[in-house]
């Protein structure tokens, strides 16, 4: 500690449920949260040798394989990436695929810091550990030899919303003939990954498209606008997460991040930020859906 204090021994990313999480609209870590986690941990662990993997409780959504530590111990973590809502810890021999489930978080802690009841897995890099906390245990930690892309969880995923493959022509093509509401299409991971309930509602508001509009009715102009709005919405959320991350001062659970100003999400009966009409809440496919009946009209 002399002269140079380790700046790393703080939680770098913690995912907190939103205030509305007790309703049926319970938000889970979505793409921006996972991306922020990825960016937060990467500089601290990428390129480092994993000395030990500790599995205190393997009983996650899919049990952590008993032999998983033998695949990674002693190996160098070559890259930390994200695909959809999966974090990919890439080693020469394969990839650890981590999903944060409904309540998971990955934090960087001192390896000696005592583990709490919900701290199920540690990836130890000498004096530091990347610690998975998951109170509800819907998360996942699985091993995939060689290329992660062929793992069944990843093989059938659609394009990344922030990637080049997601553009107006693509959205137009995959929505032709569809009578399903556009919101369902945005949330269908075979067509587009990483857009969950919050960001689907927010993107559709920005694009002034009714969430129940049959997807096949969207023409080229509205497809182009929606693509732009999905990207803007996610980029703004990542930026919000990133800025809070820089301010993160440690301690458990504060300050929370992603306390964003939503346009419509979880704002039922509150005035629309554009036109002051009360925001409406409906349930569609068992998910709470929020929209402004004036700004977002059905065609």
The catalytic residues are: 29-30, 85, 287
Name the one range near Zn ion by CB under 5 A: 48-56, 190-198, 248-256, 272-280.
Answer: 272-280
Name the one range near Zn ion by CB under 5 A: 200-208, 211-219, 228-236, 290-298.
Answer: 290-298
Bridge partners for 121 per DSSP: 55, 132
d(CA 177, CA 188): 16
Name the one range near Zn ion by CB under 5 A: 196-204, 212-220, 243-251, 267-275.
Answer: 267-275
Please state the length of the chain.
299
Interaction mask 48-67, Zn ion, x per CB under 5 A? --------------------
Of 93 and 274, CB closest to Zn ion: 274
Does residue number 272 form part of the binding site for Zn ion (CB under 5 A)? yes
Does residue number 283 form part of the binding site for Zn ion (CB under 5 A)? no
Q: Record the tokens describing residue 201, joined without a space.
A: 């509602």
- Binding-site member from 146, 150, 275, 283 for Zn ion (CB under 5 A): 275
Does residue number 279 form part of the binding site for Zn ion (CB under 5 A)? no
d(CA 258, CA 283): 24
Does residue number 297 form part of the binding site for Zn ion (CB under 5 A)? no
Does residue number 292 form part of the binding site for Zn ion (CB under 5 A)? yes
Does residue number 208 form part of the binding site for Zn ion (CB under 5 A)? no
Specify burial of residue 185 (Cβ count, 10 A radius: 0-12, 13-18, 19+): buried
Does residue number 129 form part of the binding site for Zn ion (CB under 5 A)? no
d(CA 280, CA 292): 6
Q: Judge contact between 110 and 127, C-beta under 8 A.
A: yes
Radius of gyration of the chain measured on its C-alpha atoms:
20
- Binding-site member from 79, 150, 274, 285 for Zn ion (CB under 5 A): 274
User: How many residues line the site for Zn ion (CB under 5 A)?
Assistant: 7
What's the closest the beta carbon of residue 34 comes to Zn ion, in angstroms? 30
First vs last C-alpha separation in the chain: 64
Name the one range near Zn ion by CB under 5 A: 10-18, 46-54, 108-116, 266-274.
Answer: 266-274
d(CA 73, CA 69): 6
Q: Label residues 116-136 b or e (16+ Cβ within 10 Å = b).
A: eebbbbbbbbeebbbbbbbbe
Which positions touch Zn ion (CB under 5 A)? 272, 274-275, 277, 292, 294-295
């Amino acid at each position: 500690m002399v002269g140079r204090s380790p700046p790393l021994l703080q939680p770098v990313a913690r995912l907190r449920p939103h205030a509305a999480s007790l309703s049926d609209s319970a938000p889970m870590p979505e793409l921006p949260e996972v991306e922020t986690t990825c960016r937060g941990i990467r500089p601290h662990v990428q390129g480092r040798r994993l000395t030990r993997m500790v599995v205190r409780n393997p009983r996650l959504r899919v049990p952590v394989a008993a032999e998983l530590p033998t695949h990674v111990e002693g190996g160098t973590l070559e890259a930390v990436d994200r695909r959809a809502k999966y974090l990919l810890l890439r080693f020469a021999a394969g990839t650890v695929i981590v999903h944060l489930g409904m309540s998971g978080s990955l934090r960087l802690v001192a390896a000696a810091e005592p583990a709490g009841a919900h701290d199920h897995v540690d990836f130890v890099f000498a004096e530091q550990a990347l610690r998975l906390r998951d109170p509800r245990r819907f998360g996942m930690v699985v091993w995939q030899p060689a290329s992660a892309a062929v793992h069944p969880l990843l093989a059938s995923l659609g394009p990344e919303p922030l990637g080049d493959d997601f553009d107006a022509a693509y959205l137009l093509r995959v929505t032709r003939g569809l009578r399903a509401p556009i919101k369902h299409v945005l949330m269908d991971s075979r067509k587009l990954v990483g857009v969950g309930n919050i960001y689907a509602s927010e993107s559709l508001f920005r694009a002034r498209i009714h969430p129940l509009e049959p997807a096949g009715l969207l023409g080229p102009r509205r497809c182009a606008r929606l693509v732009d709005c999905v990207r803007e919405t996610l980029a703004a959320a990542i930026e919000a997460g990133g800025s809070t991350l820089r301010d993160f001062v440690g301690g458990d659970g504060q300050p929370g991040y992603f306390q964003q100003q939503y346009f419509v999400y979880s704002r039922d009966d509150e005035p629309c930020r554009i036109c002051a009409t009360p925001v409406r809440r409906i349930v569609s496919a068992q998910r709470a859906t929020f929209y402004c009946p004036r700004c977002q009209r059905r065609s």
